[in-house]
Structure 1
Amino acid sequence: MTETTPDIPYEQARDELVSVVQKLEAGGTSLDESLALWERGEQLAAICQTWLDGAKARLAATQPADSDEM
């Protein structure tokens, strides 16, 4: 992994984030547990965003530069 590549794959982060959201929506957790879940969800969302930003940059790098010359 590089300095900018997250430690876990996108799919794993996404699946864990879905699980966190489901637990929060279901309720029944203590305030401390809810806060811990929220914090983990924020971390996972940032990991997913990092992967998506990287994919977007890779796609942009494969596209020819826009040119006004025609």
Structure 2
Amino acid sequence: MPKMKTKSSCKKRFKVTANGKIKTAQAGKRHGMIKRTNKFIRNARGTTTLSAPDEKTIKGMMPYDR
């Protein structure tokens, strides 16, 4: 069997934690920051983990990062 390929978009955007969860950047901070509240900007710092349904989708695209 040939090797499975990892989606290039996924390897650029996601990392797998030691517990097997998918770590990603916070969404909604690329542009339009004037209309965002200070509370939203403050709470959207750093990284976050994906929800279980989204995690399942991404893990299928990254076969060797489990």
Q: What is the TM-score with the length of structure 1 in the denominator?
A: 0.26
Q: What is the TM-score with the length of structure 2 in the denominator?
A: 0.26
Task: Considering fraction of residues, name the structure with more helix.
Answer: 1
